[in-house]
A and B are shown apart, each in its own frame.
Chain A
Amino acid sequence: MRINKQMRWGLVLAATLGMTACKNNDVDPNAGVVASKGTADFSRYVAVGNSLTAGFADNGLYRSGQLNSYPNILAGQFRTVSGGDFVQPLFSVDSANGSGYLKLIAVPTLATLATSIVPVAPGAARGGLTAGGSPLLRKFTGVNQNLGVPGIRMADIQTPGYGSVAGNQYFERLLGNPLKTYLSYVTDNVASATFFSCWMGNNDALLYAASGGVTPITDATTFQTNYNALITVLTANSRKGVVIGVPNVTTAPLFTTVTLPLLLATVNAGVQKANPGAPVIPALVIQGKNGIRATQAGDLLLLSAYSAGAYNTIGSTAVGTKNGPYGLSATNPLPTQLVLDADEVTAVNTAIGGFNTTMKAQADAKGLAYVDPNAVLDQAAKGFTQNGVTYSSAFVSGGVFGLDGVHLTPAGYALIANEIIRNINAKYSATIPSVDASRYNRVVVQPN
């Protein structure tokens, strides 16, 4: 099974196992390069974005993830070219677990996945819940340079009340006035900035994909209107910056780890055990975007649904419509939220392409650096080795994606930071040094 192949624990040891401390076996990529800021001014940097900007990882926002956010990594490199301090809305040490997150307590196999990945309770809950049932988090309403808000869509940035208890727990944490819009919050905090980064738009597509096509994709007009408004604020007074496009979300482990052949093999194994000699089931039956049909190549299953046991009842007549075997009958198909079917994949990829066209056009019009994150993530999908570490988009063992299958590990954020630096250097004739991603953690095994 694919997941087992992904979770090989054999060593791919580099040729050298030096016995001295602090030895780097690779050539320093920045050797001989004098750091310079080029035509940009990094003295006050502000980062705008969503969960990826906030340092969200392993299905949570917590202090360690915040410290390894790509803006914090960038700010560290900007300091080599006269960059200033960078203030993040860090959870304090005594509330370091933040919103809570997932952690890996043992080396997993497919069979032990559910027990190897366990939740860590929130450390920063201040009492009370949002309307959606999420815990309210300890406030951080001071000066802030990392404006990343997990979950925010471009569609949300001009919505009053998005930062209230009726809205987003992470934005609510940052606001004194709960009716302030995100665009207004950005306007306030970017006023004295000399340089910005903006990585928005992921959730306008991701929420659709992660819900199996249930949550609507943000319409192109709303996206463009709000993006134009945001960029207008960010580029006021000819402020320079970098904008990052939307990744092809369906290449993330959330969608690629549990494959149809894997699930069918599991289903057929169960059938054969219960009824030896029964015909092999060639496909599942799903409620797709365009109606009920048999699964086909290009349909994607969700790791989150698998982990929650949502596929365990396939074949049962006691679930779903209870009218025929669940997931195997046209009268009792797998519901749409459990499958991102091929038509929905096409829809989300088309939308992402449109969003990226909008963002790149704005970047070009305003003279901003533009970063295609897929330059890194597509490379990860194929696998590559850098400084002795082999990266891929495989779940857990690939090193790039964290335990929620969507957000990045510290090493993944470092790789993205390097791609951003590369594009900043090219756009602004700068020579900001890159970081050694191998010095950042991948998924960490940390037993209780």
Chain B
Amino acid sequence: MKYIQLTAATLLLTATAASAQFSGLHFGLKAGGTATHGYTTIPAQPTGIDNVQVPYLDNKNNGIGYGYSVGLYARKDMRKGFIQAEVTYNRFVLKQKTDVTLDVNANPALSNGLPVSFAPGVLNATLNVTSESALESINVPIMIGRRILDGKVRAYFGPNFIFVTKAEAIRNTGGQINANTTIGFAATPIPTSPSTTNLLNKYDAGVLEVKDFTYAADFGLGISPIKNLDLDLRYAIPVGKIYKDKNIGGYLGIATLTLGYRIF
């Protein structure tokens, strides 16, 4: 399904470009940077162990993550408006952080690292996690908009079809196993260690498995200060959701600043 959609979108753009003999049709290249921010909330998850769950997680925004966008576009100018289709390759980086206290049995890597097992509720750990989730995708935005000042300024909006090709999270996790004086367990630091998770693999990603296709609502503003050069600032909200699990909440916003060169 993903590739049928991608092929259809590419054909649309190709057909649009092939119609360039008609006046008001333009074709060009574009490249620029992306800036991503957002937060994610993950409901408590069962573990299969009685009275043990992974608690509610609030992955807070941890600054702006920067990526890139390169591609080509075709634009059909009309009297006051225009329609533009693009195919771009993009990298979005989402930086987040969370602090959580959980039963050691809720995290196999944690419980397996201890020399004995602990009954549920006996020992917990406080973890500090920072993550950079990088998502790479082929995007096909279809924008319609208004031309102002003879096309020197453009305002537009439209859907953006996102075909995810790669999604992985690099996490750095540290913290400590908290003391429990009742059982004679002293607080034990957990050295910060990195890990990489393939977010497109359900076995690896678990509840955080990312969709391989989604869509966003884009809106933006473009200016053409000199002939054949377009400067565009766009903002996208992936209203089609990123994660397969419908219970994951949060917000994700992507700003893109690109410079385009109009070939004709």
Contacts and interface: CB of A to CB of B under 8 A. Distances in A.
Nearest to A394: B115
Nearest to B54: A21
A21 B52 CA distance: 11
Interface stretch (A6-14, A44-52, A214-222, A370-378): A6-14
B224 interface: no
A300 interface: no
A20 interface: yes
Interface string B32-58: 000000000010011110000110010
Interface string B3-31: 00000000000000000000000000000
B241 interface: no
B190 A13 contact: yes
A27 to B, nearest CB: 9
A11 B109 contact: no
Nearest to B172: A17
B109 to A, nearest CB: 4
Contacts of A22: 45-48, 206-207
Contacts of A107: 116, 183-185
Contacts of B107: 17-19
A116 B252 CA distance: 51
B108 A24 contact: yes
B187 to A, nearest CB: 11
B47 A11 contact: no
A24 B203 contact: yes
Contacts of A439: 108
Interface string A387-402: 1111000001111000
Given A23-B204, A445-B117, A106 B109 contact: no
Interface string A212-243: 00000000000000000000000000000000
Interface string B115-144: 111110011000101000000000000000
Smallest CB-CB A-B distances: 7 pairs: A21-B45, A20-B206, A16-B195, A388-B112, A397-B115, A17-B173, A13-B113
Given A19-B57, A444-B118, A444-B119, 16 more contacts: A13-B113, A14-B113, A16-B195, A17-B107, A20-B205, A21-B54, A22-B48, A23-B205, A107-B183, A387-B112, A397-B116, A439-B108, A443-B117, A445-B122, A446-B119, A447-B183
Interface of A: 7-25, 28, 104-108, 112, 116, 387-390, 396-399, 438-439, 441-447
